[in-house]
Amino acid sequence: MADNAHSEVASEIARHAPLLPVGRLDELLRAVTSADRVFVCAVGRCGLVLKMFATRLAQLGIRCYVAGDLTTPSIGDGDVLIAASGSGVTPTVVLLASRARMFGAKVIGLSAHEDAEFARNVDSVITLPVPAKTDPIDRKQSVQPPGSLFEQLLLCFLEEAILRLAREQDEGFQTIRSRHANLE
């Protein structure tokens, strides 16, 4: 099993990737490019994925902040919050999405569940139709630990968004390269 674990994971991602709602990428990108500022929020491993997304947005010159960081300003009209919760019920994400809307920001949610509690607090839900960590374990859907497949496909979906945005704004990735961290 250990010898082929990488191929099982790659096969699983490849099998589920065609289910990603790439038709919704334009909606996400319109929200990002029309916003004054972009904020992201998620917890756990989804939070790490959204931080990667925020990093690329910042490298493309988009003002982007991670909710909860000490240097994050207040959110308001003209801003957008991109929030992710595989289960759709992560308390912190549900609360922050609700507060962002209360302060006038547009909220786009990314979840495995279109109709979860989370959906009541966002303007639009983009559903990634894969199991989340709270779903019953079904080895036919995923051989990985709960949540892993959602997080991997969330990364793939957001990387596709970055690729499309970079093709429009940063031919050859020169801007990304010039803004890449140099205090490493």
Q: Catalogue the active-site residues.
A: 151
Within 8 A by CB and 6+ apart from 83, the residues are: 40, 41, 42, 93, 96, 97, 100, 107, 108, 109, 110, 118, 122
Query: Can you read off the two tokens belonging to residue 82?
Result: 């991109």
At residue 124, φ and ψ (nearest 5 deg) are -155, 135
Q: Work out the number of other CB atoms within 10 angstroms of the CB of residue 45.
A: 17
Please give the structure tokens belonging to residue 151. 């997080």
